[in-house]
Structure 1
Amino acid sequence: MAKPFLETDGPKHVAIIMDGNGRWATQRGRPRLFGHHAGARRVREIVEACPEYGVKYLTIFAFSTENWKRTQVEVAGLMSLFRRYIMKEMQAFVKENVRVRFIGDRPRLDKKLRGLMDEAEEMTSHCTGTNLTIALNYGGRDEVARAVQRLAQDVADGKLCPSDVHEETLPKYLDTCVLPDPDLVIRTSGEARISNFLLWQSAYAEYEFVDTLWPDFSSDEFGKLVGQYGKRDRRFGAVTA
């Protein structure tokens, strides 16, 4: 008999691939950016729901290293949305005790956006509630490549011996070095792929692929998925006695 969901059974770190904004807008005869704005508003609801379900860490996939291939109009609109979102939401996140971090390759982002990201991290650095991590210009392979470059430089500088490089070494060089690995990864919109998201970190994460488009993904559905996680038998390669 499956045990009932308890807060202690739930995932402490949930990562979300927020997919379906463009299709949501197209279904309504609106431009894709309309869907991205609707999706941005949905983030707040999910962040606010995290304490209720015992989720301490929430990581969201906002813009991938591959998203630069989209039209110039859409990319420019997304960058403008990110700047406005940070300026609009940061005071609220401070008030709600939400700590904000960003992961991804920052140099390609414009100077103003990078400055706002730095300011948001600094403004919320004292917050002790939900940890919100926003993946912006992020790709899992790119992250691992950058981590290996830093690791190799430490070896070249004599700070690290090659024989000391093992499975626990690389995570210290990843963008997520201060975060626990995700317990649960959710992808919305009906697509069943991970799209280069948290490749190293999600090796033993549980996955949920749901048909709901991101702007329609409610806190109730989020809570249902968190509850289902609590009923799973996670063995990490071992066998239950």
Structure 2
Amino acid sequence: MKGVPGHLAVIMDGNGRWAAKRARPRWMGHARGAQTARELVAHCARLGVQHLTLYAFSSDNWKRPREEVGFLMDLFASHLDRQLAELRANGIRLSIVGRRDRLPPALVAKMEEAEARTAQCTRMHLRVAIDYSSKAALQEAFARVQAEGREWPADPLLPNVDLLLRTGGERRLSDFLLWECAYAELAFIDALFPDLTTADVDAVFADFARRDRRFGGLNSAPVPVGSA
């Protein structure tokens, strides 16, 4: 498909509101959102997206009720168990970005196993952000550079984002990939994440293909994924 972004980042917003609209508990929205995420991953791989980063749980989400946080941790673990074989079969490498020291040890063990068992996959690199804060990641990187006496690297911590999509009608970045989104195209749609369809994704990509990305210059020019 023409105009497919090399790196798509998605803020998966609206699971709780999806459940509330149906007078259902919030956990049902998260469960439906997890299925939508699975469909999104498969669709992006089919279209040729090279990098897909999903914002699953921000560092600020620890403020949510304990029951909801506990369900999300269990949901992450169960989906790792169920989706690992599918990721490997489809050539999708999985990486988890964010802090790990506050996550349940059993979940961390599953994350590390999934990363190791998909490390050689090359069709698409899927990154899932859990306990993630872009500001914290930058602060940690800056402290490491200072401690090691090195210069600040020119490259971002992750590949530069070509297109950032946020569902749910909100229009903000919410501390997600702030450096990597320096020249990202932004797409905000009203659909709640569990209602996101492949047709919605195709429409966003078609709009992305029509945009003129000049990167501070005067004429459009293709920029390799991961370049500044």
Q: TM-score, normalised by structure 1?
A: 0.88
- Please show how residues 141-160 of structure 1 align to structure 2 within 5 Å: 141-155=135-149, 160=150
Report whether the alignment pairs 1:218 with 2:212.
no
- State the shift of 1:86 in Å: 0.7
Report whether the alignment pairs 1:103 with 2:97.
yes
Name the larger-Rg structure: 1
- State the distance in 2 between where 1:34 and 1:224 align: 27
- State the shift of 1:77 in Å: 0.9
- State the distance in 2 between where 1:79 and 1:134 align: 13
Partner of 1:230: 209
1:41-97 per-residue CA deviation (whole Å, 9 max, x = no partner) reads: 011111111133331111000000000000111111111111111111111111111
Contact 1:47 1:130 in 2 (8 A): no
SS of the residue corresponding to residue 176 of structure 2 reads: coil
In structure 1, give the amino acid aligned to 2:106: K
Number of residue pairs matched by the alignment: 220
Report whether the alignment pairs 1:10 with 2:4.
yes
- State the distance in 2 between where 1:53 and 1:221 align: 14
Report whether the alignment pairs 1:208 with 2:194.
no
- State the distance in 2 between where 1:19 and 1:25 align: 12
- State the distance in 2 between where 1:213 and 1:52 align: 23
In structure 2, give the amino acid aligned to 1:98: I
Structure 1 residues not aligned, in runs of 5+:
1-5
Contact 1:25 1:31 in 2 (8 A): yes
Partner of 1:82: 76
Partner of 1:32: 26
- State the shift of 1:166 in Å: 4.5
Contact 1:53 1:223 in 2 (8 A): no
SS of the residue corresponding to residue 207 of structure 1 reads: strand
SS of the residue corresponding to residue 83 of structure 1 reads: helix
In structure 2, give the amino acid aligned to 1:86: L
Moved runs in structure 1, 4+ residues, more than 2 A?
51-54
- State the distance in 2 between where 1:240 and 1:42 align: 37
Percent of residue pairs identical: 40
What do you get for the CA RMSD once the two structures are aligned?
Answer: 1.4
Q: TM-score, normalised by structure 2?
A: 0.93
In structure 2, give the amino acid aligned to 1:168: A
